[in-house]
Each structure stands twice: as structure tokens, then as C-alpha cells.
Amino acid sequence: MTNLQEFERHPLANYLRVERFPHIWCEGCGNGIILHCFVKALDELGANMDKLVVVSGIGCMGRVAGYIQCDSFHTTHGRPIALATGIKLANPQLTVAVISGDGDLFAIGGNHFIHAARRNVDMTVICSNNFNYGMTGGQCGPTTPLLSYTTTTPYGNIEHPFNLVHLAAASGAVHVARWTVLHVKRLTESIKKALQKRGFKFIEVVSPCPEIYGRRNKFGKAIDTMKRYREIAEIRHGYAPSKAEITSEKIVVGEFIDIEKPTYGELLQGQFMRFNKG
């Protein structure tokens, strides 16, 4: 049997563009696990793939849009949330998910993130946080921890990083969660929950980049990073995002925020109805 024939028997093959595999990600890269959890969530929800749109930006995680068997956009760097906003407003029937990297969503795309969260635009944003720009060779970005090494911080990073869950919560997201790629079942459950909820939902996924970030910081192989997650991850549902800073000693994971408020699309529709009575 060829690879492809075997792969077609995988229980999730229907959700993937199998002919494009093996994917480009390095050995032990967490991005493949995030993709798995996402399609597994779709499978468990019995999602209608004709009503789903996946948008990603540029970067290693950005390549994900090309692997899912639905209408998907691999858009320009930093702009997936802007594109997703347009898609959702143009066709409110669609379920829109953005899956992208920490650099894409929080460096060049940072403004789109905070304002879409503030407006409560209906979409699910999943961020692969590998603490650097993997694709372009491992530069320092807004999530790079203090004192860690990257190509552009050879003496150690002196910039304070964003705490992404705090940023999302403070900006107005209605659902905020964080997991590591080791928490496959819980991450899948979180994605299911987010996809079913209205409003701006954010899930941060702490993910190893063994080839670039891991190598520079002497983290060993991907499996060593995974074992480290097992040691230092602490599940705390409902924990205050402001206190959930990631350190080398502790990664607080869990579902932190779950609130309700009207979405931008609903308010827009309401206003449209009010002014178009005649």
C-alpha cells in the first residue's frame, strides 16, 4: 500500500488535503498536533465543512490553511484577523477560524487582534505560541521570554513579553484558554467549545519549535520539551489571566474566561434593521 492509500484510511483523512502530506513542519514541531486537535474537534462536532472557513497568516503555523479540506485562505503576514472579519461580516452563516503564529498575530498583526477582540467579532483564533518567528530563522518577537536566545538576541532578550491570555481578556475576548500541545484531549475540547460559542474566542497553544528556538536555547529534542510541559504545566480553570504569565518554572493552562456579550455582527445587523424599517 502506498503512503497515500494508507493515509486515506486515517480516521481524520476526510478533513485533510491528504495529497499535500507529509507536511512541511520539522520533526517534533507542535504545529501538526494543533492541526490534529483542530480537525479532531471538527470530527467530534460533525462540522459542516462547507460552512467552515480557515484563515491563516504567514509563518510555519500559517501553512496550516493549506492542509485542511475546506475553503481556506493563507493570507498576507499579520492580516488573517482582518480577512476573517470581512468573511464573517459578508456571510454571517459561516464559521470562521483563524489559526496562526504568535509573531503573525501579535507582532505585525497585534492591532487587528486587539480591535477584533474589542469589537467581539465572531471568530475563533488559535495561536501556536512557539516564542519566536520560526519560519524566518528564529528572530525575537513579542512573546519571546526575557533572557532567552534568538537569532536577533544573541546575548539574551531584554524585552518583556506579552502574556497573550491577559492581552486577549483585557481586549474583550469572550472565551480565553491556554493549553500546551501535550494536552491534546483538553485542547480538542476547548476548540469544540470555542467553535460553538458566539463572539471572539482565543486559544493559545504553547508549542515546541525544536529546530530553531529549542536548539538556540538548548532545550534538547522536542520530546524533552514535551516532558518539560508535563512537569511544569498546571491546570487552573478560571484563573486570572493577568497572573498567568508563562515562566520557565510554570505554565498555567486551562479555560480562563467564558462570558457572553453581543457580537459585532449582531449589533451591526440590529442597527441595519432599525434604520431600514421603511
Partner 1 sequence: MPVRIWRTPLNIEKAKLPKAEIHIIKNQCKGCGFCIQFCPKDVLEESEEINERGVHPPKVVDESKCVLCSFCTSICPDFAIFVVEKLCEEEC
Ligand X SMILES: Cc1ncc(C[n+]2csc(CCOP(=O)(O)OP(=O)(O)O)c2C)c(N)n1
* DSSP H or E stretch at residue 127: strand 123-129
Q: Which is nearer to ligand X, 47 or 61 (CB)?
A: 61
Among 102, 189, 204, 255, interactor with Mg ion by CB under 5 A: 102
The sheet that has 95-101: what strands, in order across it? 71-74, 52-56, 95-101, 123-129, 200-206, 175-180, 251-258, 233-235
CB closer to ligand X, 67 vs 264:
67
Instruction: Decide the pairing of beta strands 71-74 and 123-129.
Output: unpaired
Contacting positions for ligand X (CB under 6 A): 58-61, 77, 101-104, 128, 130, 132-136
Residue from 62, 134, 141, 161 binding ligand SF4 (CB under 6 A) = 134
Among 31, 72, 95, 130, binds Mg ion (CB under 5 A): 130
How many positions of this chain bind ligand SF4 (CB under 6 A)? 12
Q: Is the peptide bond before 22 cis (omega within 30 degrees of 0)?
A: yes
Confirm if 3 and 34 have CB atoms less than 8 A apart. no
Q: Which stretch binds Mg ion (CB under 5 A): 86-94, 129-137, 214-222, 234-242?
A: 129-137
Residue 166 is classified by DSSP as H
What is the binding site for partner 1 (CB under 8 A)?
A: 3, 6-7, 9-12, 16, 21-23, 25-33, 36-37, 40, 181-182, 184-185, 188, 221-223, 226-227
Query: Residue 23: which residues within 8 A CB-CB, separation 6 or more?
Result: 31, 32, 35, 63, 67
Task: Return the amino acid letter for 165.
Answer: V
Residues in touch with ligand SF4 (CB under 6 A) = 25-26, 29, 31, 60, 130, 134-135, 209-212
